[in-house]
Every structure is written in structure tokens, then in C-alpha cells.
Amino acid sequence: MTPIRKLAFVVNEAKPGAAELARELLVVARGARVPLKHTKRFPVPKGWLRGCDACCVIGGDGTLLGVAREAAREQVPIIGVNRGSLGFLTTFSADEARAQFRDLLRGHFRIAHRAMLECSNGHGLPELALNDVLIKDKINSRLVRLEVFADGELVTNYTCDGLIFSTPTGSTAYNLSAGGPIIHPSASVIAMTPICPHTLSNRSIILRENVQLRVYNRSPGSTLLVAVDGQRNLRAANDAPTEISISKLRLPLVQRADYSHFAVVRSKLKWSGGFIDQR
């Protein structure tokens, strides 16, 4: 890989140890004479990453999600350093970042290109989601009736608390909590998972990469909320469908050379395929 010539830092100082770690890594980058820019603000404003070769995000997965849209639009690889809890997306620990940062600046890393969803609700430009798009009633306690079409063909009508449309990256987030499947990040699919459906036969559906989805509100008097990555809320138009597809853009995510998705799942979720003797 080409060495990093200009580096951006996004630091979530609300996370314990994030500010201190950022100061350490900034010293390393300045010692390597790498031009820098940094901010405590996220989501980052449009165009802020333009001209950067990489962006070091120090915080949790939510911090990284606040940078993902702009990083995908500008094709700036993200180096995620975890100072949060699980850290599925921020794959470097603080110790790994300290030990490997000089090598990262020299370009010694690999990049995974993660799929993103594109979501449009009839108002404004489409939104991008790295993890998921959630469709639900704007009042939390209300059931909704949602009609889903895939490439113009009726899938089914759901009576449920909402629907989650997840990328493979987001499959270990809300999708997993709602009973959806774990999907390898390199798979080219969308998972559609109903939340508390009012029938035992409803399960997740896995849809192909180039599917065009439309979701209609069939609940009289109900207004839908469309939540993008749990960070941006859109109000769906009652007279138009919410449209979801996989974006042409991919998020470039920096990974260690020995990165293993299943090792992360085993470590973060304490996931095992067999009996664990806890005696």
C-alpha cells in the first residue's frame, strides 16, 4: 500500500482514554511528518475528509458510524481504534494502535470494502447506512403494517414493531438482537428481519445484492420513522414507499493483516458452536 500522506483524526472524547490515546498517536504522526487535521465533531461535515489518505477514528462503533458516510463518499479508508464497548467496526485495540501505528502510516495494512445501503423516502437525497435501516412507527408502542416488494414482486405484509434491513456488516448489530442471522461481511446480500412479528412463521429473509426493495405503510393514521444506522431519523412520506437497495459505494475499512471476522465474533459475542464446560 501507498504511505499515508495526509491523515484525519476523529476523536470521541466522551470515551474513557480516547483523548489521551489521540495525543499519543498525533505525536507519532507528527514525528513521521504526516500532515494532519483533527476534530471532536461527528458526524463529520460534508467534504471534511476530502484530500485525506486515511481517517483514524478513536471511539466506539457509533463514532465510526458518524464518519462512515463521508468516508464512503470520499473513498477515505477508516482506521478504527476502539475505546468503546464491543468494537465490531473499530477493530484495533488501543495497544494494537500504539504498536502498529508507524507501520500503518507507512501503508502496511489491508483494506476491506464494506457494503452500504442506500435509502430513499421520497424527500431529498438518498441516505447511506453501513449497518442498517430501521422502519417503524414514530410512536414506539405502536404496531405497524408494512407491505414489502422486492423487484416489484410482493414479498408479504408484516404486522410487527418494525423491519430491520441490514448489511452483512450490520448483521451483528440490531439484526442479531432481533433474531436475525450472522452474515460474513464479504457476502453480497441484504437481511430483512421483522421485529416482534405477530405470527410465528415470520423469519429473516436474505435477499440478493442487486434487489430493489420498496416498503409501503399500510397502517391508517400511522407515520413511519426511518432510522439510518441508528443516528439519522427520516420521516417516511405516507403517500410514497421507502426504497432500499445496496449502494454502489463501499466503505474502505482498514484491517490488520491477520484480521478474522469469526475470531471477532467469538471474542466479542462469546460465540461458540459447542458445549463449554464451565466447571
Q: Any idea what the CATH number is for the domain that residue 31 is in?
A: 3.40.50.10330
Residue 188 within any structural domain of the chain:
yes
192, 179 Cβ separation under 8 angstroms:
no
Same domain assignment for residues 191 and 265: no
What average pLDDT does the segment 23-35 reach?
97
Same domain assignment for residues 95 and 126: no
Same domain assignment for residues 99 and 122: no
229, 66 Cβ separation under 8 angstroms:
no
Residue 243 within any structural domain of the chain:
yes
Q: What is the mean pLDDT of the chain?
A: 92
Give the closest residue to 252 by CA, choosing from 116, 155, 84, 48.
Answer: 116
Residue 276 within any structural domain of the chain:
no
* Total number of domains in the chain: 2
CB contact set of 167 (below 8 Å; sequence gap of 6+)? 114, 115, 116, 117, 129, 130, 131, 132, 190, 246
Residue 79 within any structural domain of the chain:
yes
Give the closest residue to 103 by CA, choosing from 8, 52, 29, 26.
Answer: 29
Q: What span, in angstroms and rounded, lies between the C-alpha atoms of 240 and 123?
A: 10
Q: What's the whole-model pTM score?
A: 0.92
Asked if the bond preceding 185 is cis, omega within 30° of 0, the reply is no
What is the reported pLDDT for 51?
A: 97
Q: Of all residues in the chain, what percent carry a pLDDT higher than 70?
A: 97
Same domain assignment for residues 14 and 40: yes
| 61 is an active site residue | yes
Same domain assignment for residues 213 and 174: yes
Same domain assignment for residues 84 and 148: no
Same domain assignment for residues 128 and 103: no
Same domain assignment for residues 237 and 152: yes
277: pLDDT strictly greater than 60: no
**Residue 244 — left, alpha, or beta (φ > 0 → left; ψ -120 to 50 → alpha)?**
beta
Same domain assignment for residues 210 and 230: yes
Long-range contacts of 152-156, Cβ-Cβ distance < 8 Å, separation of 24 or more? 152/212, 155/192, 155/205, 156/202
What is the reported pLDDT for 134?
A: 97
Q: What is the CATH number of the domain that holds 126?
A: 2.60.200.30
pLDDT (tens digit, 9 = 90+) per residue, 36-46?
Answer: 999 999 999 99
Provide the 3-class DSSP secondary structure of residue 128. Answer: strand
229-249 CB burial, b ≥16 within 10 A, e <16: bbebebebeeeebbbbbbbeb
Range of the domain at 216: 117-248
Under the banding of pLDDT at 50, 70 and 90, the label for residue 124 is low
The backbone torsions φ and ψ at residue 131, rounded to the nearest 5 degrees and listed phi first, read: -95, -65
Give the closest residue to 205 by CA, choosing from 178, 237, 169.
Answer: 178
Q: What span, in angstroms and rounded, lies between the C-alpha atoms of 225 and 137?
A: 6
279: pLDDT strictly greater than 80: no
Give me 115's grid cell: 457494503
**Catalytic option among 53, 61, 132, 161:** 61
Residue 39 within any structural domain of the chain:
yes
Under the banding of pLDDT at 50, 70 and 90, the label for residue 77 is very high
Residue 275 within any structural domain of the chain:
no
Give me 134's grid cell: 430501521
Same domain assignment for residues 130 and 81: no
Q: Specify the pairing of strand 78-82 against strand 127-129.
A: unpaired
278: pLDDT strictly greater than 60: no
Residue 2 within any structural domain of the chain:
no
Same domain assignment for residues 24 and 93: yes
Q: What span, in angstroms and rounded, lies between the C-alpha atoms of 78 and 253?
A: 5
What's the alpha-carbon Rg for the chain, to the nearest Å?
20
Same domain assignment for residues 239 and 260: no
Give me 235's grid cell: 420521516
Alpha-carbon 69 to chain mean position: 9
47: pLDDT strictly greater than 70: yes
Residue 1 within any structural domain of the chain:
no
Q: What span, in angstroms and rounded, lies between the C-alpha atoms of 178 and 102?
A: 40
Q: What span, in angstroms and rounded, lies between the C-alpha atoms of 152 and 213?
A: 8
Report the DSSP beta bridge partners of residue 215. 148, 242
Q: Give the range among 92-96, 223-227, 233-237 with minimum mean pLDDT.
A: 233-237
What is the reported pLDDT for 121?
A: 83
What average pLDDT does the segment 57-79 reach?
97
Report the DSSP beta bridge partners of residue 175. none
